[in-house]
Amino acid sequence: MERLTFTAIFIFWVNLISATVFVKVDDSFTNHQSTVRVVEGQTVTLKTLEAGNWVKIAPLLKEYDNLKNGAKSIEPIDYVIIPLGKHQSDSTLIIDNIKVGTHYFGRVFENNKSFSSTKPIHLIDDNIIQIVVRKNDSYIGFLTEQLNLPFIIPPKVLPKFGHQTDLNVGVDCAELAIYGMRRLGYNIPYGGPKGITKYLIQVDSISSGTILHFGYQVSIIYADLGKIGELDAEDLIIHAFEDKVKIESLGQTKLLGMECKKYRWDINNCPQ
C-alpha cells in the first residue's frame, strides 16, 4: 500500500481542463506531460488550486479480448475509482513509497465509482496523471513498469495515440517481453509469441531475463531462486498471464511442468 501524506507545498505546472495541477518528482520539476516516469523510491507530489477530491483510478484486472468483435475492434478497459481517505480534498497529494507498476491519480469523479474507455485515459482527460514506476533501468527493471496492468489479447495501436503496451494501458505475454527491450532503446516490433522468436537465441540454462516460451505463453525469469541455472518451481517469473502482469513463482502457476524452450535476446539481431 502506498503511504499517502498531504501538505501545502506548491510546485510545478501541469495545466488541466478543470484544474491546475503542479507536479514535482523529488526536488525536480517535471516537463508538461500526462505521464510521469520515475524509479522506485522517488516521491511524486501533486498539487491543485481547484476544489475537488483526489482519487486513484485503477484498471479492472481481467482479460480483455480485442478480437471478439472483429480484427479492428478495441475492447473498452474498465476502471474503478478509489477515494483516498479523509484527506482526499486537501490541495496537495504526496505519493511516496509508491510500488513499481503503473498508477493513475486525479481530481475527478466525485460522484462516480467506475467508467470504461477504449482510449488511454490520461491522454483524453487532462485531470488524470499516469505515474509509471520502475525498479531500475535494467531490462527486468523496465518490465516492472507494467505490473498490475490488465491482460489484453492482443494489445493494439490506438489511432492518434500509439500502441497500448507502449502507453502502459495493457499488454499480453510476448508484448511484455518486447516492451522491456523497447524501453532499452531497441526497435523491436510487437509481434506476439510467434513473432518474438526471430529476435531470440535458444539457451540451455536460465538466469534473470531468460525468456520462457511455452508456445501460447511467454514468461520471463525475474529471479533464479531454485537450483542455479535450472528451471524449477522456486524460480520467480514476471509475465502477463490470465488477468494481469504479475511476479510469481513458477510453482504457483499451471505452467510448472509444461514443455518450454528457453531463450535469451539476440542483441546483434535486435534493431535499434
Q: Are 171 and 192 in contact (CB under 8 A)?
A: no
In this predicted structure, what is the pLDDT of residue 216?
94
Supply the pTM of this predicted model: 0.89
CA 212/CA 249 separation, integer angstroms: 13
Q: Enter the DSSP assignment of 161.
A: T
Question: Is 234 in contact with 249 (CB distance < 8 Å)?
Answer: yes
Low-confidence ranges of the chain (pLDDT < 70): 1-21, 30-32, 51, 86-89, 108-111
Q: Which of 103, 142, 131 is nearest to 222 (CA)?
A: 142
Return the pLDDT at 108: 64
Amino acid, res. 237: I
**pLDDT of the residue at 51:** 66
- pLDDT at position 125: 86
C-alpha 214/C-alpha 10 separation (Å) is 50
For residue 6, the model assigns a pLDDT of 33
Cell of 4: 499517502
pLDDT value, residue 4: 40
Closest CA to 217 of 196, 186, 231, 187: 196
* Distance of alpha carbon 140 from alpha carbon 12, whole angstroms: 31
pLDDT of residue 10: 28
CA distance 154 to 175: 9
Dist. CA 1–CA 53, nearest whole Å: 19
- pLDDT at position 195 is 93
